[in-house]
Every structure is written in structure tokens, then in C-alpha cells.
Amino acid sequence: MKKKIIENLITIFYALLIALFIRTFFYQPFYIPSSSMEPNLLIGDRLFVSKYSYGYSRHSFPFSPNISNKRYFAKTPERGDVVVFKTPADNRTDYIKRIIGLPGDSFQITNGDFFLNNEKILRTKTLISTVINCGNNKITFDAYEETLPNGKKYISVYRRNGTIMNTDKYIIPDNHYFFLGDNRDCSKDSRFLNSVGYVNSVNLVGKARIIFFSNDKSKGSFFEFWKWRSTIRFNRFFKKIE
């Protein structure tokens, strides 16, 4: 009996080591808790993030041990990538946003238009829905397909009333990145220098790749299996993140 228990404990130990290895160097699951990336990522989406996409830093490891302030096997992100990163404010909280500005870029909102390196970002108005979440509220919005200079396209949304029309010019420092949420007026991102601001490359955790599960908590708990038809978003399973 004692031998069997020891064998089981050894098996569990090795299983945990393998899981830790995969989580640290390959893929890590994340949960979307807020509406800041709607309509592309919804509250209740669960996704895989590739840890190898940009190389590795101390934030690749659980609990972000303070072992180094360098990034190893570093690879440069592309504009438009959806990325999980640790917020500069505490180096612990995970955020997920879209990279808009690279090191050395400038970014500014002028009369509601977005300018990257003094060139207007192309936006084409479209209609994908009539309301969208902003915290616990639902708002009316305008949706646009935006095209970045590298050709990356995605959908972003703006309040019909009260959207941010003007900002100061942001100059992204060396080795830092500028992030925006796709739900532009319901996102705490790099526009807020005191809370997020420019994100150091060391703080990048990985690139969001694919949604593997999605559950709408507003319609019921996952454990209420009799509600699965309405609560589980089967159409979002294995959806690639653009």
C-alpha cells in the first residue's frame, strides 16, 4: 500500500513538472474577465497564449521571479498582435491588448482620427451589432475595420456619444510598446500613462493565438449543464485570434 502511494505521488510530481514546462515555454491558458477587447474577445473566452513568440523573460515563469531584467531569444512583435503582458504598475497583473505602436513610433488622436507616425490609420465604418458591453453596462457604438501600416486588419468599436476625440502626442520609448484595447472607450491601456503607459518588452508574456472555450456567465454558470445550449458559445471554440 505504501509503495503504491509513493508511486502515485511520483507520477503526480512528474505530471506537474511537465505541465509547468509546457506552461513556461510553450502555451499558457488565459481567461478574459473584462470587455476591453470586445467585439474580438468576449468576457468568458478562454484562450491559449504562445510563450515562445517573443522570447522569454522573468514573466514567462509563474509568479514572475525577479531573476533577470533581460529578454532571451527575443523576437520583435508586429503591429496588430494581440498580446498578454504584465502591467508596468505592479509587474503582476495580466492585461491583454493590441499592439499599435512600436519603439520609436508616435501616436496621437486628433479630431477623432488616429495618427501613427503622423499618418492617419485607415478606418472603414462597418456594422457588426447594435450594442456592446462596457463593464456592467451596454452601450451603442460605431464599429470600424482598421488597417495598420503593415496591412493588419481588425475590428474596433467606439462610443457613438462621448468617444475620445483628442490626445497629446505619445512618443514610444526604445524597447517599449504602445497598446490599445479594441473596445476603445472602455479600455485602460497605454493612453493612461499613470496606470499602464508604455510597456517594456520584458513585460510581454506571449501572443494570443486561439480561443479554446467560451462561456457566457451572464446567462448561467458552467455547472448548470441544463443551460449549456445558451451559456456555452460553441461557435467560438478553436477560433483563431486575429
- The kind and range of the H/E element at 15 are helix 2-25
Q: What is the reported pTM?
A: 0.92
Alpha carbon distances (Å) from 121 to 17, 165, 194: 46, 14, 25
Rounded average pLDDT over 66-81: 94
Mode of pairing for the β-strands spanning 239-240 and 204-214: antiparallel
Catalytic pick among 51, 97, 207, 214: 97
Q: Any idea where the domains of the chain sit in the sequence?
A: 2-63+71-240
Active site residue 70: no
Catalytic pick among 34, 35, 36, 57: 36
Residue 18: predicted pLDDT: 85
Q: SS3 string of 20-88?
A: HHHHHHCEEEEECCCCCCCCCCCCCEEEEEECCECEECHHHCCCCCCCCCCCECCCCCCCCCEEEEECC
Q: Which of 94-103, 173-182, 216-225 has the lowest mean pLDDT?
A: 216-225
Residue 133: predicted pLDDT: 85
Q: How many angstroms separate the CA atoms of 194 and 172, rounded?
A: 15
Is omega for the bond preceding 39 within 30 degrees of 0, making it cis? yes
**pLDDT interval class at 162 (50, 70, 90):** confident
3-state SS assignment for residue 1: coil
Q: Which three cell numbers stand for residue 91?
A: 509587474
**pLDDT interval class at 99 (50, 70, 90):** very high
Q: SS3 string of 160-217?
A: CCCCCCCCCCEECCCCEEEEECCECCCCCCCCCCCCCCCEEHHHEEEEEEEEEEEECH
Residue 119: predicted pLDDT: 96
Q: Which three cell numbers stand for residue 15?
A: 505530471
Rounded average pLDDT over 86-97: 95
Residue 111: predicted pLDDT: 93
User: What percentage of the chain exceeds 70 in pLDDT?
Assistant: 99
**pLDDT interval class at 77 (50, 70, 90):** very high
Alpha carbon distances (Å) from 194 to 67, 162, 198: 26, 22, 10
pLDDT higher than 80, residue 82: yes
2-63+71-240: CATH, from 3.40.1280.10, 2.10.109.10, 3.40.50.300, 2.40.30.10: 2.10.109.10
Q: How many angstroms separate the CA atoms of 205 and 85, rounded?
A: 5
Active site residue 201: no
Widest pairwise Cα distance in the chain: 74
- Enter the DSSP assignment of 241: P
Residue 81: predicted pLDDT: 98
- Enter the DSSP assignment of 112: T
3-state SS assignment for residue 94: strand
